[in-house]
Chain A
Amino acid sequence: MNTIISANNLDLTFQTNDGPVHALKGVNLDIDQGDFVSFIGPSGCGKTTFLRVMADLEQPTGGTITVNGVSPREARLNRAYGYVFQAAGLYPWRTIGGNIRLPLEIMGYDKAAQAERVEKTLELVDLAGFEKKFPWQLSGGMQQRASIARALAFDADILLMDEPFGALDEIVRDHLNEQLLNLWDRTGKTIGFVTHSIPEAVYLSTKIVVMSPRPGRITDVIESPLPKERPLDIRDTPEFLEVAHRVREGLRAGHSYD
């Protein structure tokens, strides 16, 4: 298996007015091609920071990390990944199609290629026919799907998602989780997914990274024994509950009750 992201003894310390904050300390992790990796942990455990380091949006203060074998900065310049933020963050002055076209315009795709990719990615996230609508005409779940389409439009091999469904209700979330698995299956992308929902992490991932705060570190890495084919009711099986239990144990062990 090809290693796509490799972190080695990674440190990141923020200097704040209240002294240094150790967002990441001694983090080691390998992510293989085609993995669906979830990062789970309480707030302040560094899961989002870790994802942002992979995306070259934060600079580590120690250790090494490679993305596609090169530094995160080079990977970013090569447009190796698409990033989905917690808020959909669609431009209100652009239609859904226009929003998906944004990265393509910036990256200099010609008009025909733009139109083709917009159509393709809209279909991928099940939003065909909404190209001409403005963001405010869509529900929150649809907006988030459009923002995933925007991240997919330029066909990066890696998809980094920072709590993309965190602001959505449970029912919409279930639906989007199912769709995301389907999309991952069809595209074969490597996905890094930050969440604080245990069922979401277990349902989606091939690998679950449990993190804990102060300092932000990895306490457990769980290789999921669940099959690739996952209907929603897999969540009632003993295997699923076992993994969920292990995640919960990992979270409890890492949590200092001070």
Chain B
Amino acid sequence: MRSVAPVLTVLAVIVGLWYLAVAPMNIRVALNQAERAGAEIVPEGAVQRRQTSVWRLMAQNTAFVSEGYALERPRLPTPVQVGEELWKTTGKMVMRGRAWSKRSLIYHGWITLQSTLWGFFLGTAVGIIGAVAIVYSRVADMSLMPWAIISQTVPIVALAPMIIVLTSQIGVEGRGLPKAIISAYLCFFPVLVGMVKGLRSPGPSQLDLLKTYNATGLQTFLKLRLPASVPYLFTSLKVGIAAALVGTIVGELPTGAISGLGARILIGDQFGAPLAIWSALFAAAILAGVLVTLLDVAQRVTLRRMGMAT
């Protein structure tokens, strides 16, 4: 509860800066619109104004600055406009019983969430298995780790279309699987790194202790390495699920997808609907926040049960 005040303070600052930025960002659009409606603008004509700085435009046309806060297609919408759009495409549609309509962000969010979760499970499994291999085999340590690092330097936007083409070549229908693979591609890495660190966290004397008991390798893994890695695992999972969501959205962007939050962002861009972009963006951020919070709760509960709560 202690963190509420600082969080709210930062939020207030962001919203304040956002409101301040709306005026210069939207002044040209606002002036063009006012001029078409017959208002007197200095200087005259959109072409003329392109040469003038936004600050000058605002200073010379103070009466129209406020128009920038109520545009239908703003360059930068106000927080309230984004909020209204979000409500219109979620809660309001639910109240009208149209939650699963193609215009509803709940529908698109659900599509994205499904791929994210599949990608998250796939990536986590690959990450954990890879970490176990790296910790237990010197060969895997020297061969897998460099590739894992290199894999993260390849831009995912370049890989995504290839993954979609290749999966369709082997007869996979739909975009669910390729999106999950793209999302797993981003998600496995933090899990792998965190689990390697966690599995290696027991010190030499802890391993010596088990040696004096003549414990088997499996016993060492189950009774020492695995439980010792749990705090590291949860930290990685929180990073991993956010990465999985980003991966899914990227997977929806360049691939001609028509549903999912990524598709909404792209379509909003193509059809000049900034409000759709911003509301999809916020929906994605809220979704990420919810997922990370759920994992955080799971982490607290698990660590408390294990007696490791701090």
Contacts and interface: CB of A to CB of B under 8 A. Distances in A.
Contacts of A87: 205
Interface stretch (A9-17, A77-85, A112-120): A77-85
Contacts of A105: 223
B206 A55 contact: no
Nearest to A79: B214
B212 A57 contact: yes
B211 to A, nearest CB: 7
Interface in B262-286: none
A83 B214 contact: no
Please report whether the interface of chain A is mostly helix, strand, loop or mixed according to DSSP: loop
A76 interface: yes
Interface in A90-114: 91-95, 102-103, 105-107
A134 B206 CA distance: 18
The interface centre, meaning the residue of A93, A103, A136 with most chain B CB atoms within 10 A of its CB, is: A93
A91 B205 contact: no
Interface in B213-272: 213-215, 219, 223-224, 227-228, 230
Given A93-B227, A102-B223, A79 B213 contact: yes
A87 B219 CA distance: 22
Given A85-B205, A106-B219, A91 B212 contact: no
B223 A57 contact: no
A89 interface: yes
A65 B239 CA distance: 52
A222 to B, nearest CB: 28
A77 B211 CA distance: 9
A204 B84 CA distance: 78
A57 B215 CA distance: 14
Given A79-B214, A106-B215, A89 B308 contact: no
A182 to B, nearest CB: 24
B208 A57 contact: yes
Given A85-B205, A106-B219, A134-B307, A91 B211 contact: no
A106 B213 contact: yes
B214 A89 contact: no
B207 to A, nearest CB: 10
B213 A91 contact: no
Contact of A89 (B205, B211, B219, B230): B205
A57 B308 contact: no
B307 A81 contact: no
A38 B79 CA distance: 74
The interface centre, meaning the residue of B206, B208, B210, B307 with most chain A CB atoms within 10 A of its CB, is: B307
Contacts of B306: 93
A235 B41 CA distance: 100
B235 to A, nearest CB: 16
B209 interface: yes
Given A85-B205, A105-B223, A93 B213 contact: no
Contacts of A102: 213, 223
Nearest to A77: B214
Contacts of B209: 83, 85, 89
A89 B206 CA distance: 7
Contact of B224 (A79, A91, A136): A91
Interface of A: 55-57, 76-77, 79, 81-83, 85-87, 89, 91-95, 102-103, 105-107, 134, 136
13 contacts: A79-B214, A81-B212, A82-B212, A83-B212, A85-B205, A85-B208, A85-B209, A87-B205, A89-B203, A93-B227, A93-B230, A102-B223, A106-B223
